[in-house]
Structure 1
């Protein structure tokens, strides 16, 4: 009798590997799976419905990876399925972005059978050299776990470990699923025990020591402020952040990557700190503080306006997902969640010095003096979006790399808003795919949240096909296409009039029709003046209808937010440095 049969006969509740994997995905919160079919993953795809999962069907693998990124940011974790070689390499840019920005994506790659690999067969989608590990090796550096599911005796444990690491570490994982293993049997009894997704607890003594040190400096500070950044979002400590700032009422600021991490309706919310590109009052208060409690900082160039922070480590406490730094002392292995909880519990409010945030920073902008037929300008557009009634509680707001990513700093959000951006990786075109994934994540979560995308015309042209996926899945999306004739962010870095920053002008409002939209499923708008914008934002049908609302929004070609101009200048200087 073959050895495989003995193994199967010893299983208490045998299930196929594909069923096991997809059931586990469902158990940890995934409801829809992005990707594209290919002959090495087709058999596995047949198991999706049985596990309660919906197949999305993206237009290409890169867009699918972007969508999985957006889905995970809203739903908590996501899954992407591609085929060996050609499919996974198309997706790897999106996966690298998820790794860079700490987004938990499970990347499943259907690959040739274990027999084909052992025999070094000359198969399609290979390099023709018999090496079946070359593509996995490429993905290894952008995955926190790489698991080759080659042995039925180990596969179930490999899957459970990879999914736990993906969630806890908030990074992509790579699962290589051979065609013959997709239908191999594993122990299904394991499915009765959920995967433990809790982060490990800190050593109590170390944690208490760090808490005491933090409280010592916090109680002594005369002008303390709180600065919340991306890792507080990615590592799911926002409940602890809000408990702390609600109890202490300390002035709290966010970075561009931390935008929406804090309830911006709180009276102690002071705005966005981004070094030299900050509002002057924000810059003065943060940089003039004698103690900055920084939570989850990620000091990349665009997140700091070209490394223009002016914060002394002597006056800083940095809380991270793997360690904490208090002034010049680092405490490895002490995670921020436990520290934040205990600091909140033990802080002595009578010893805190709480200063008011600058009142001028978030004061509504007066646009009444701007002529009705004025062109729409970056200088007031982003404030007007937040000052009026257009935005709603719990909206999802996505901004593309470019003018939108910088302009949104000036928009004040209602409570419960989730803002998505890709400031660190900065792959142009990411936002359209991420928007589709985010909107689907909201739908799968059983919510009625609107997803609002601000997308440049140049970026749109990279990933425009996913409009068809939005329409196909009846997603609730408002898509503002900023028509300003090309790559504005690149123009301000270098080449304002260079041909390489130009694009072909499309007939944008016709795109939803090309991609399958009808008058019932899509409504299209063209907005060129202040009056037209105000009328649109106040339009009840525009705000309340379901499905895709596609807006052509025209802005001048050489107009950009001041924050983008300052950051672009810093980027150009860094690019020009010789040593």
Structure 2
């Protein structure tokens, strides 16, 4: 009777699942990734009622990777798994999203509150009556965690978690018991959108930091701008471009920041990763007397083994939670407001501009007389193939390091997983990115570069691409195994070898018909030139699966230098 009275008191009763999925739609999600399981099946029935499409991946890990890629393009994503076996299969992908600041809403269907309270011996559990163990595992990789057990609290829990997911740009975890899916909660509040506005800085503190920044910027003789991943993740790219346009200062990106800046802008000067950079780039940044770093994530692969030679005395760091000016830290003063005021108040007449290096796709300089496709030639040539607003996905391996040598057209979105570096991530991420582009209503090519070793881990996700008619282009770099691992250690070791697959047969195995998939085998520069110049191939109106053969031990210069630095770090004993 108490429940009936409570329901009658609601102005506009809606089921919990309908409320949750309506909120997801309101914040921009259009497709939901995941794998069905008996603890989430009833909830899945509500997706269509909220105008959400079910994707359905081949396994939870691939679904998590796909949700990661979707969020990088669309701004936020959702993943649904089942209790225990499903969520643990996805946990690596969620950990990667947390590591790299990606907003994923992870919804886990779980046993009923009654079953949990009684400690029942249910499937998908550890058999010990502990229903909190898997949620506890997720506490360290979620910025908010909510167990939706009490109808009077659920709406608040959902709204809070979704806001945290977006604002902090990290995964959240929602545990949805089977007996809560159809409970009634207040739907009247759905008329009021969740507030996703960025928190404002305290004005007096913000103004002080701006004054300090401007003092050093106006006095600098040789300042530069360095843009990193969190500038993308925490949505300050408008501020970045406004700052570059107003000051005309040379602007560099890190590997994780690739795609953050218009690389056709006159001020764009290349990829900076310490000793992994081109010599002219390293010299220019290392000699700067002031570096404005925006959204830095100074991991080993992002800095070529921590090889920055810059001093914190010459650095101003802008972050999503604080700012650091030389050795003075200002907690709680976030970069968005500070950057906007710096742009508004900077005196361009006091800015000393020393031009940076010019960046080109230097195909000619990297062309040799051999017909063999080399890493050095391939990546600049890809730069000529790309067009504006392409989405480029690169696996952490030869592809991620090779793409440093590719100058992007304007509007290119680059997806890579440099920090977490989970082998096979890029395949699922490509699926999610292509779907996000379609859900956004934009005609954008999605292009994946992945090694043969990496692709073998997650190749099944190609079947999801085919099923949803996603028109992606996949370049498989066939070089007989894990090249990045060979460069770090074990050049000829058997543990870096793989079985050789008949790659061009793969799409057919996964249901790809001739009208949906075209396959290509490339073994020479001439063959690749012909393909990259082909009008139908460039139109990308179906899946194009390209098998590109390269020498086993050939690797991009940046990978070789970074791998050497990584090997030294691994070998340290103190």
What TM-score results when the alignment is normalised by the length of structure 2? 0.99
Partner of 1:185: 184
Structure 2 residue 425 is matched with structure 1 residue 430: yes
Whole-Å separation in 2 of the counterparts to 1:310 and 1:81:
44
Structure 2 residue 538 is matched with structure 1 residue 539: no
Give the C-alpha shift of residue 367 in structure 1: 5.7
Matches within 5 A, 1:73-92: 73-92=72-91
Give the C-alpha shift of residue 368 in structure 1: 8.9
Select the residue among 382, 389, 396 that pairs with 2:379: 382
- Partner SS state of residue 309, structure 2: coil
Give the C-alpha shift of residue 423 in structure 1: 0.2
Question: What do the CA deviations read for 1:65-109 (whole angstroms, capped 9, x no partner)?
Answer: 000000000000000000000000000000000000000000000
Partner of 1:560: 555
- Partner SS state of residue 275, structure 2: helix
Structure 2 residue 490 is matched with structure 1 residue 492: no
Which ranges in structure 1 are unaligned for 5 or more consecutive residues?
none
Matches within 5 A, 1:74-153: 74-153=73-152
Please say if residues 471 and 547 of structure 1, whose CA atoms lie closer than 8 Å, have aligned partners that are also in contact: no
Whole-Å separation in 2 of the counterparts to 1:575 and 1:203:
43
Please say if residues 225 and 292 of structure 1, whose CA atoms lie closer than 8 Å, have aligned partners that are also in contact: yes
Structure 2 residue 440 is matched with structure 1 residue 445: yes
Whole-Å separation in 1 of the counterparts to 2:550 and 2:244:
38
Please say if residues 433 and 466 of structure 1, whose CA atoms lie closer than 8 Å, have aligned partners that are also in contact: yes
Whole-Å separation in 2 of the counterparts to 1:280 and 1:368:
16
Closer/same/farther in 2, CA of residues 322 and 461 from structure 1, 3 Å limit: same
- Partner SS state of residue 7, structure 1: helix
Whole-Å separation in 2 of the counterparts to 1:242 and 1:184:
47
Whole-Å separation in 1 of the counterparts to 2:114 and 2:366:
72
Please say if residues 273 and 302 of structure 2, whose CA atoms lie closer than 8 Å, have aligned partners that are also in contact: yes
Give the C-alpha shift of residue 369 in structure 1: 5.6
- Partner SS state of residue 107, structure 1: strand
Give the C-alpha shift of residue 362 in structure 1: 2.9
Residue range with higher mean Cα deviation, 89-98 or 569-578: 569-578
Matches within 5 A, 1:63-78: 63-78=62-77
Whole-Å separation in 1 of the counterparts to 2:51 and 2:229:
32
Structure 2 residue 519 is matched with structure 1 residue 524: yes
Please say if residues 270 and 362 of structure 1, whose CA atoms lie closer than 8 Å, have aligned partners that are also in contact: no
Give the C-alpha shift of residue 370 in structure 1: 3.0
Give the C-alpha shift of residue 365 in structure 1: 3.0
> How many equivalent pairs are there?
574
- Partner SS state of residue 276, structure 1: coil
- Partner SS state of residue 277, structure 1: coil
Matches within 5 A, 1:10-25: 10-25=9-24
Question: What do the CA deviations read for 1:468-500 (whole angstroms, capped 9, x no partner)?
Answer: 110111112100000000000000111011110
Give the C-alpha shift of residue 9 in structure 1: 1.1
Partner of 2:6: 7
Partner of 1:478: 473
Whole-Å separation in 2 of the counterparts to 1:301 and 1:284:
20
> How large is the RMSD of aligned CA atoms in angstroms?
0.9
Partner of 1:364: 362
- Partner SS state of residue 274, structure 1: coil
Question: What do the CA deviations read for 1:106-133 (whole angstroms, capped 9, x no partner)?
Answer: 0000000000000000000000000000
Whole-Å separation in 1 of the counterparts to 2:548 and 2:3:
62
Please say if residues 366 and 377 of structure 2, whose CA atoms lie closer than 8 Å, have aligned partners that are also in contact: no
Please say if residues 492 and 569 of structure 1, whose CA atoms lie closer than 8 Å, have aligned partners that are also in contact: yes
- Partner SS state of residue 79, structure 1: strand
Closer/same/farther in 2, CA of residues 327 and 545 from structure 1, 3 Å limit: closer
Question: What do the CA deviations read for 1:298-328 (whole angstroms, capped 9, x no partner)?
Answer: 0000000000001111111000000001111
Whole-Å separation in 1 of the counterparts to 2:74 and 2:568:
39
Which ranges in structure 2 are unaligned for 5 or more consecutive residues?
none
Whole-Å separation in 2 of the counterparts to 1:316 and 1:172:
30
Whole-Å separation in 2 of the counterparts to 1:231 and 1:39:
38
Give the C-alpha shift of residue 355 in structure 1: 1.1
Whole-Å separation in 2 of the counterparts to 1:94 and 1:66:
5
Partner of 1:199: 198
Structure 2 residue 237 is matched with structure 1 residue 232: no
Partner of 2:58: 59
Whole-Å separation in 1 of the counterparts to 2:362 and 2:338:
36
Question: What do the CA deviations read for 1:350-406 (whole angstroms, capped 9, x no partner)?
Answer: 1111111123x43633169633x61100112111111x2x11100000000100010
- Partner SS state of residue 558, structure 1: coil
Closer/same/farther in 2, CA of residues 179 and 363 from structure 1, 3 Å limit: closer
Partner of 2:211: 212
Whole-Å separation in 1 of the counterparts to 2:305 and 2:357:
24
Please say if residues 361 and 407 of structure 2, whose CA atoms lie closer than 8 Å, have aligned partners that are also in contact: no
- Partner SS state of residue 102, structure 1: coil
Give the C-alpha shift of residue 52 in structure 1: 0.1
- Partner SS state of residue 70, structure 1: helix
Whole-Å separation in 2 of the counterparts to 1:208 and 1:518:
61
- Partner SS state of residue 481, structure 1: strand
Matches within 5 A, 1:148-163: 148-163=147-162
Please say if residues 361 and 381 of structure 2, whose CA atoms lie closer than 8 Å, have aligned partners that are also in contact: no
Partner of 1:321: 320
- Partner SS state of residue 99, structure 1: helix
